[in-house]
């Protein structure tokens, strides 16, 4: 990946994904074919940006004539703070994953919730309104954003689970205030009512980092899953949770389609009216 130091050498670069680490990001291989197909003369690069450098990265990209950028871990909150304007979606999700450098302002939005909703629909055939959803790992950035999106989208019931229960207290309080009619529970992974709640929900989402390493265990014991469950893992690789879902005869999907759909929405934020769907699927091998 490029860094802020050698960024000027990235000739024709007009878009980037910023993060750390960022070398493994699939965003360039998804966005570049879409740019090429649309006849847009721009290169999409991976840009390594360290902690505390988001504001500086925005300034440098602006100077070099960038159109915008995607933001990944660990910068989604810093990006929200570094924008001049953010829309309601970014505000509600508490994070920015897509930025546009307009002449008059740096504008941020968040397409992760859209990506999640469309991935769940395409891969599992489920619509969020009225659904019962359990999010395991709601204490992380991704889990918090998906939880906030589910509440906005009108799920009937939301069960937020986290290893460290104290890390989801604020999120729980915020969502209760914003959505007084939502049936919401927050609990730790050791809570004794967890099996009963898991049995009563339709969609189980993993937003923990468990599964990034081959040896990682499932965030839920296999016994929690039954054949009517739909399991969505935000991780791309086959995880212990996906294997457990398979063994239980449950429907399951990994994070590839979420990557695709958040990318489509980001591309349209930069280029309204564009249709990058087919080129992006080709780029990702979907």
Q: Binding site annotation covers 167?
A: yes
- Under 8 Å between Cβ of 96 and 71: yes
Question: Quick one: which of 53, 70, 123, 208 contacts ligand ATR (CB under 6 A)?
Answer: 208
| Token pair listed for 73 | 């871990």
Q: Which of residues 62-81 bind ligand ATR (CB under 6 A)?
A: 73-74
Q: Among this protein's residues, is 237 annotated catalytic? A: no
Q: Binding site annotation covers 53?
A: no
Please name the helix (run of DSSP H) or strand (run of DSSP E) that holds residue 251, with its range, or none. Answer: strand 251-253
Neighbours of 240 (CB within 10 A): 19
Q: Binding site annotation covers 224?
A: no
Beta strands in 122-175 (DSSP E): 132-136, 157-162
Q: Which is nearer to ligand ATR, 161 or 279 (CB)?
A: 161
Q: How far is the CB of 95 from ligand ATR (least distance, A)?
A: 9
Question: Quick one: which of 1, 28, 140, 276 contacts ligand ATR (CB under 6 A)?
Answer: 140
Q: Which stretch binds ligand ATR (CB under 6 A): 64-72, 109-117, 191-199, 205-213?
A: 205-213
- Under 8 Å between Cβ of 280 and 263: yes
Question: Quick one: which of 1, 19, 28, 139 contacts ligand ATR (CB under 6 A)?
Answer: 139
* Catalytic residue (choose from 76, 127, 213, 237): 76
Q: Binding site annotation covers 275?
A: no
Can you tell me the distance from the alpha carbon of 45 to that of 7, in angstroms, rounded to the nearest whole number? 10
Sign, CA dihedral 7-261-217-242, equals negative
Q: Which stretch binds ligand ATR (CB under 6 A): 50-58, 100-108, 146-154, 156-164?
A: 156-164
Question: Quick one: which of 141, 172, 255, 263 contacts ligand ATR (CB under 6 A)?
Answer: 141
Q: Binding site annotation covers 166?
A: yes
* Long-range pairs of 121-130 with CB within 8 A, sequence gap ≥ 24: 122/257, 122/261, 123/232, 123/253, 123/257, 124/203, 124/230, 124/232, 124/251, 124/253, 126/202, 126/203, 126/230, 128/153, 128/154, 128/155, 129/153, 129/154, 129/155, 130/154, 130/155, 130/156
The answer to whether 210 contacts ligand ATR (rule: CB under 6 A) is: yes
- Under 8 Å between Cβ of 139 and 162: yes
Kindly list the distances between the CA atom of residue 129 and the CA atoms of 52, 93, 106, 121, in Å, as whole numbers in the listed order. Answer: 38, 17, 32, 11
Q: Which of residues 264-283 bind ligand ATR (CB under 6 A)?
A: none
User: Any bridge partners for residue 253, and if so which?
Assistant: 232
The answer to whether 119 contacts ligand ATR (rule: CB under 6 A) is: no
The answer to whether 211 contacts ligand ATR (rule: CB under 6 A) is: no
Residues of the binding site: 25-27, 72, 88, 97, 112, 162-167, 234, 236, 255, 262
Annotated active-site positions, please?
76
Q: Under the rule (CB under 6 A), what is the footprint of ligand ATR? A: 73-74, 137, 139-143, 162-164, 167, 208-210, 219
Annotated binding site for NADP(+): 88, 162-167, 234, 255
């Amino acid at each position: 990946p490029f860094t802020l130091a050698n960024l000027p050498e990235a000739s024709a670069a007009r878009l980037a994904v910023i993060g750390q680490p960022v070398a493994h990001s699939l965003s360039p291989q998804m966005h570049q074919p879409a740019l090429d197909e649309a006849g847009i003369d721009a290169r999409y690069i991976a840009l390594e940006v360290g902690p505390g450098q988001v504001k500086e990265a925005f300034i440098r990209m602006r100077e070099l004539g960038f159109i915008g950028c995607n933001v990944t871990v660990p910068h989604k909150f810093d990006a929200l703070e570094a924008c001049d304007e953010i829309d309601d979606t970014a505000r509600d999700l508490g994070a920015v994953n897509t930025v546009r450098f307009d002449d008059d302002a740096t504008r941020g939005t968040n397409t992760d919730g859209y990506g999640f909703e469309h991935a769940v629909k395409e891969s599992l055939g489920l619509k969020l309104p009225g659904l019962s959803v359990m999010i395991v790992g709601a204490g992380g950035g991704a889990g918090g954003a998906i939880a906030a999106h589910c509440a906005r989208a009108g799920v009937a019931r939301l069960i937020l689970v986290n290893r460290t229960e104290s890390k989801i207290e604020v999120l729980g309080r915020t969502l209760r205030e914003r959505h007084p009619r939502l049936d919401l529970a927050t609990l730790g992974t050791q809570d004794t009512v967890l099996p009963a709640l898991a049995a009563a929900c339709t969609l189980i989402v993993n937003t923990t980092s468990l599964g990034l390493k081959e040896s990682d265990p499932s965030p839920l014991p296999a016994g929690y899953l039954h054949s009517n469950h739909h399991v969505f893992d935000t991780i791309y690789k086959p995880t212990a949770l996906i294997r457990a879902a398979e063994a239980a005869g449950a429907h399951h999907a990994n994070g590839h389609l979420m990557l695709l759909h958040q990318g489509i929405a980001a591309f349209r934020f930069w280029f309204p009216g564009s249709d990058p769907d087919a080129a992006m699927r080709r780029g990702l091998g979907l």
